[in-house]
Amino acid sequence: MSKYLVVFAQAHLEFRVPELESVAQLYNFQISFSDNPDERDPGRPYMIVGLDEEEHARLLAKRCILVKSIYEFYGKGANYEELHICNRSKRTLWERFIPETSFRFFVTSYNHKIPQRRQKEVVESFAYMGFMGKIDMKNPEITLGCFEEYETRNRATRERHEGDGDFLQVYFGRLIEEGSARSLIQLFDVKKRSYFGNTSMEAEISLLMANQTLASPGKLIYDPFMGTGSMAYPVAHFGAQVMGSDIDGRQMRGKGSTPGIFRAASQYGVSSRIVDICTFDVTNNPWRCGELFDAIVTDPPYGVRAGAKRLGRKKELDTSRLALYHEHCTNPRVGDSPYIPPTKPYELSNLAIFAETWGRLVFFLPTVTDEYEEVDIYTMLCEGMEVIANSLQDFGSWGRRLVTIRKVTSEKYPIPDFSSPKTEDEERHVPAHRHFREKYFQGFRKDGEGE
């Protein structure tokens, strides 16, 4: 494997790795992350990954919403001396460009502005590479980039050029591909959409969800809480066919003779990929059998923006469950079956019956930050499912997690019974997302806290 430098857009840090992994799986290639924690820290704007082919870097840059660009990695260091030692050792990667390749060279930084004078110094410090081709700022055959990473200063604005050169790391490499998927955020902008509502999901998140489903031509993907169809458009844009349903037909139709969802889909040129939209309660659904869909993507109702009732009381885990949970936390059994607490699965996981084996379930789970435990996600699984991504979008006292679950068993699940109330015994671990609506409107006060 060769090393590549991924330059991220500064958004949704926890979604970066899951997105890279999903797109790699979609195109069926391997991506490896460094053993060095600094190099795989998703909170940093630069990450070094391993890929077998340059083409794979191009595929990632064309499809990942969070990727700004990808470079062939030549070197890094805590200072320029270290960087140059590393870059010299990688000579075999760049010597073929020495004789006559035209090139552009730029120096830039994250969280800082480097004065012109020092930019020039930096460029000159690479003179030993001895490139003889002509410098071409407009249309070069190759682009070489040098990136200084400065510490994020929480809110404190830096004086102009203050602390210049005092960076954490500097990286250097050759541009393989500028990310082009980020422009889709503009294309799918909800405000420019001919049909949307107050439940519509912002474009960037809908696109990230679409990538988590591995949407591509040949697939049929289902949103059982479709509302105004926010996820349907990017999923269809990536070539998949979409099926949607909602208990409330007005959400999907809006006003006007053509249903709103088809109006919006036409705007994106994908209306023929919206197979159908149906009105029904998914907990009482008319699908003829299970396993009809390649993936399910949805923003289920939790009562914050759309009505839904949940029952349940806050309870503690019992000792045996607690032991399992601690074992899971300290020793997650990689490759082994996931930790499955002996609860009746949470209703949402029942949606898995509609998914193919290896099919994915991609959904949002609102959580109260102080109360969330990883076990909350695991209580939702039933046998034969594994969590492959769990990324928090943090709003402070609450957040929502984009969870991706994969169905790993080819065994058929029984038709779910969404209706039967759980008994006390079956429901000892009450996940923190219970009562989400009540907590949301109370501003997430803890018990006993005053008004």
Partner 1 sequence: MVRLITHNILACHVKGCTSNNFPLQLQGVQIELREAEFNPEFLKTFLPKIEWKALVDTAKEARDTSLPLEQPEMLDDEFLKNLHHVLLEIHIEEGTMICPNCKHNYPISNGIPNMLLAEHEVG
Binding site for ligand SAM (CB under 6 A): 197, 199-201, 224-225, 227-231, 246-248, 251, 281-283, 299, 301, 305-306, 308
User: Considering CB distances under 5 to 8 angstroms, the limit depending on partner class, which of ligand SAM, partner 1, none binds residue 106?
Assistant: none
Question: Which residue's CB is nearer to partner 1, number 185 or number 261?
Answer: 261
Joined tokens for residue 281: 């309660």
Shortest Cβ distance from residue 336 to ligand SAM (Å)? Answer: 34
Give which of 410, 355, 360 is closest to 387, Cα–Cα: 360
Half-sphere exposure in the Cβ direction for 185 (13 Å, CA) = 16
Shortest Cβ distance from residue 359 to partner 1 (Å)? Answer: 12
Report helix, strand or coil for 309: coil
Question: Which residue's CB is nearer to partner 1, number 280 or number 440?
Answer: 280
Question: Which residue's CB is nearer to partner 1, number 218 or number 414?
Answer: 218
User: Phi and psi at residue 303, in whole multiples of 5°?
Assistant: 90, -10
User: Considering CB distances under 5 to 8 angstroms, the limit depending on partner class, which of partner 1, ligand SAM, none binds residue 222?
Assistant: none
DSSP 233: H
Shortest Cβ distance from residue 221 to ligand SAM (Å)? Answer: 13
Question: Do the beta carbons of residue 426 and residue 344 sit within 8 Å?
Answer: yes
Shortest Cβ distance from residue 73 to partner 1 (Å)? Answer: 35
Shortest Cβ distance from residue 289 to partner 1 (Å)? Answer: 8
Shortest Cβ distance from residue 292 to partner 1 (Å)? Answer: 6
| Amino acid letter, 20 | L
User: Considering CB distances under 5 to 8 angstroms, the limit depending on partner class, which of partner 1, ligand SAM, none binds residue 243?
Assistant: partner 1
Alpha helices in 126-190 (DSSP H): 184-187
Question: Do the beta carbons of residue 45 and residue 86 sit within 8 Å?
Answer: no
Question: Which residue's CB is nearer to partner 1, number 220 or number 392?
Answer: 220
Question: Which residue's CB is nearer to ligand SAM, number 147 or number 225?
Answer: 225
* Residue found by looking up tokens 């806290």 in the block: 449
Shortest Cβ distance from residue 429 to ligand SAM (Å)? Answer: 24
Side-by-side strand order, sheet with 103-110: 32-33, 46-51, 2-8, 67-77, 169-178, 142-149, 103-110
| Amino acid letter, 289 | C
User: Considering CB distances under 5 to 8 angstroms, the limit depending on partner class, which of partner 1, ligand SAM, none binds residue 313?
Assistant: none
Contacting residues for 325 by C-beta, under 8 A, at least 6 apart: 317, 339, 341, 373, 375, 378
Question: Which residue's CB is nearer to partner 1, number 194 or number 279?
Answer: 279
Question: Do the beta carbons of residue 235 and residue 217 sit within 8 Å?
Answer: no
Question: Which residue's CB is nearer to partner 1, number 286 or number 335?
Answer: 286
Question: Which residue's CB is nearer to ligand SAM, number 95 or number 281?
Answer: 281
User: Considering CB distances under 5 to 8 angstroms, the limit depending on partner class, which of partner 1, ligand SAM, none binds residue 227?
Assistant: ligand SAM
Shortest Cβ distance from residue 260 to partner 1 (Å)? Answer: 11
User: Phi and psi at residue 38, in whole multiples of 5°?
Assistant: -65, -35
> Measured between alpha carbons, how far is residue 28 from residues 2, 214, 243, 404 in Å?
17, 11, 25, 18
User: Considering CB distances under 5 to 8 angstroms, the limit depending on partner class, which of partner 1, ligand SAM, none binds residue 289?
Assistant: partner 1
User: Considering CB distances under 5 to 8 angstroms, the limit depending on partner class, which of ligand SAM, partner 1, none binds residue 367?
Assistant: none
User: Considering CB distances under 5 to 8 angstroms, the limit depending on partner class, which of ligand SAM, partner 1, none binds residue 282?
Assistant: ligand SAM
Shortest Cβ distance from residue 26 to ligand SAM (Å)? Answer: 22
Give which of 35, 26, 34 is closest to 63, Cα–Cα: 26
Shortest Cβ distance from residue 229 to partner 1 (Å)? Answer: 13
User: Considering CB distances under 5 to 8 angstroms, the limit depending on partner class, which of ligand SAM, partner 1, none binds residue 19?
Assistant: none
Question: Do the beta carbons of residue 375 and residue 313 sit within 8 Å?
Answer: no
Question: Which residue's CB is nearer to ligand SAM, number 143 or number 228?
Answer: 228
Question: Which residue's CB is nearer to ligand SAM, number 83 or number 297?
Answer: 297
Shortest Cβ distance from residue 389 to ligand SAM (Å)? Answer: 19
Question: Do the beta carbons of residue 407 and residue 358 sit within 8 Å?
Answer: yes
Question: Which residue's CB is nearer to ligand SAM, number 175 or number 402?
Answer: 402
User: Considering CB distances under 5 to 8 angstroms, the limit depending on partner class, which of partner 1, ligand SAM, none binds residue 291?
Assistant: partner 1
User: Phi and psi at residue 96, in whole multiples of 5°?
Assistant: -65, -15
Spatial distance between the Cα atoms of 149 and 339, rounded to a whole number of angstroms: 39
Contacting residues for 437 by C-beta, under 8 A, at least 6 apart: 302, 303, 304, 308, 310
Q: Which residue's C-beta sits nearest to ligand SAM?
A: 227
Give which of 280, 186, 294, 277 is closest to 228, Cα–Cα: 277
Spatial distance between the Cα atoms of 177 and 197, rounded to a whole number of angstroms: 36
User: Considering CB distances under 5 to 8 angstroms, the limit depending on partner class, which of ligand SAM, partner 1, none binds residue 197?
Assistant: ligand SAM
Spatial distance between the Cα atoms of 409 and 414, rounded to a whole number of angstroms: 13
Q: Which residues bind partner 1 (CB under 8 A)?
A: 217-220, 241, 243, 245, 247, 249, 252-253, 257, 259, 262, 272-273, 275-281, 284-289, 291-292, 294, 419
